[in-house]
């Protein structure tokens, strides 16, 4: 099978799975609904059903898709950026920074909503971006720019943020239950407002990433080579880092920390369709969105009570990842 056919097949499967996922999301939930209900609802508008189908289930599915796409794209960008398959939004400290912000907000009872985010969401967003900027500035000051430096700085800053998070959780054990929903992620409170908040940014970053994908391909050859081939390395690097940080911070702000999507989805995609970044970015976004859509379906239907989605992403993602990895070898 040629690479091109393989890619087409991949896209077809992903799209079909994605559409099926949306339909399943709208049809399943703790309140029993049948396809017949949905058809009847489309014909005659019922207030309670409208709230359940459109306001609760569809908004949630859309948000899950957007967040999955954003996380996977962010991961794909960072893996290219660091030329390291271990990179994901956790590495540069976005996630740990954001969880620190969210836990502080929950502990201090800062719950007021602003700019389409909840209080913890807003603080998560700010602290997530803040810690990346800090990591970036710290790495720059060490004379010139080195990938290892930013990786290590990111890990150290992330560890510090995690320690502070644990400290706040320990001091204010009252808020632990609420904080857990941040630390493991949940779409429990999804609403259209959140989807509308992140959608424009996601689209912007997505288009920019596709636009700059060729430069990312050049970066894979090494910074000097890329520079020689006419890629404005520093500017491109800065843009990519900013984009991936923005995508990850936005995701965390609306849904809490959802691990594994950013790390694993780009890998799957790379294994299946190859390393060209333009296709990789687009496919990662689609596959990530679809993956998270299904994870959320599981999270809300597996048990009577909702599971945090972070549990599902890791539990489902890891075995599948191992399978692909070994099949390839």
Partner 1 sequence: MDVALTTPVAEGDPPKAGGPPGLVPGGAGGLRAISFAKPNRGLPRNREKGQIIPASAPQDFKDDLGRPFPLPERTPERIVSMAPNITEILFALGLGDRVAGVTRFCDYPPEARSIRRIGGLVDPNIEIIQSLDPGLVIAFRGNPLRLVDRIRKLGLPVFVLDIGQGLEALFPLIAKIGRVTRSEERAAALAAGLRRRLEAVDAAMGEVRTRPKVFVLLYGQGLWTCGGESYVDDLIVRAGGTNIASSMPKKWVLYKREQILEDDPDVIFILARSGQDFATGRDWLLRKAHVESVAAVRSGRIYDLDENAASRFGPRLVDVLDRMARLLHPELFGDAP
- 57 part of the interface to partner 1, by CB under 8 A: yes
Query: Among the candidate windows 2-10, 147-155, 162-170, 241-249, which touches partner 1 by CB under 8 A?
Result: 162-170
Nearest CA among 230, 289, 246 for reference residue 78: 246
Q: Show the tokens assigned to 296.
A: 């959320």
Rounded-to-integer distance, Cα 130 and Cα 249, Å: 10
Contact 245, 118 (CB under 8 A): no
Q: How far is the CB of 116 from partner 1 (least distance, A)?
A: 12
d(CA 209, CA 255): 23
Q: Does 170 bind partner 1 (CB under 8 A)?
A: yes
Residues in a beta bridge with 107: none
Tokens, residue 43: 């014909």
Nearer to partner 1, 132 or 183 (CB): 183
Shortest distance, CB of residue 176 to partner 1, whole angstroms?
5
User: Judged by CB under 8 A, which stretch of 27-35, 214-222, 275-283, 286-294 contacts partner 1?
Assistant: 27-35
Of 12, 159, 171, 229, which lies in the binding site for partner 1, with binding defined by CB under 8 A?
Answer: 171
- The interface mask with partner 1, positions 286-305, x = CB under 8 A, is -----------------xxx
Residue 73: count other Cβ atoms within 10 Å of its Cβ.
31
The first and second tokens of residue 237, run together, are 């690097």
Of the pair 31, 220, the CB lying nearest partner 1 is at 31
Task: List helix spans (H) across 83-222.
Answer: 94-107, 119-141, 147-171, 176-183, 192-211, 213-219
Q: Does 242 bind partner 1 (CB under 8 A)?
A: no
Q: Which residues are near partner 1 by CB under 8 A?
A: 29-31, 48, 51-52, 55-57, 99, 109, 111-113, 118-120, 162, 165-166, 169-171, 173-178, 180-181, 183-184, 188-189, 191, 303-308, 310-311
């Amino acid at each position: 099978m040629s690479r091109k056919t393989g890619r087409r097949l991949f896209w077809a499967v992903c799209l079909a799975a994605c559409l099926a996922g949306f339909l399943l999301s709208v049809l399943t939930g703790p309140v029993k609904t049948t396809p017949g209900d949905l058809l009847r609802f489309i014909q005659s508008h019922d207030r309670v059903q409208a709230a359940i189908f459109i306001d609760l289930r569809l908004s949630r599915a859309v948000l899950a898709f957007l967040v999955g796409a954003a996380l996977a794209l962010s991961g794909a960008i960072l893996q290219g950026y660091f030329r390291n398959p271990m990179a994901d939004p956790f590495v540069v400290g976005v996630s740990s920074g954001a969880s620190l912000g969210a836990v502080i907000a929950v502990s201090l009872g800062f719950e007021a909503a602003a700019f389409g985010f909840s209080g913890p969401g807003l603080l998560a967003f700010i602290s997530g971006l803040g810690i990346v900027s800090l990591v970036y500035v710290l790495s720059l000051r060490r004379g010139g720019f080195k990938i290892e430096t930013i990786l290590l700085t990111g890990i150290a800053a992330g560890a510090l943020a995690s320690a502070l998070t644990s400290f706040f959780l320990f001091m204010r054990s009252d808020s632990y239950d609420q904080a857990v929903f941040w630390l493991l992620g949940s779409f429990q409170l999804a609403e259209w407002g959140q989807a509308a908040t992140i959608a424009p940014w996601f689209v912007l970053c997505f288009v920019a990433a596709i636009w700059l994908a060729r430069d990312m391909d050049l970066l894979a050859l090494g910074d000097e080579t890329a520079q020689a081939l006419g890629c404005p390395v520093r500017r491109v690097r800065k843009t990519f880092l900013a984009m991936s940080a923005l995508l990850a911070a936005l995701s965390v702000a609306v849904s809490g920390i959802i691990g594994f999507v950013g790390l694993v989805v780009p890998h799957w995609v790379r294994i299946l369709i190859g390393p060209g970044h333009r296709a990789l970015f687009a496919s990662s976004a689609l596959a990530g969105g679809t993956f998270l859509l299904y994870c959320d379906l599981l999270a809300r239907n597996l048990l009577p009570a909702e599971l945090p989605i972070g549990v599902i992403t890791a539990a489902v993602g890891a075995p599948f990842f191992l399978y692909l990895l070994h099949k390839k070898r």
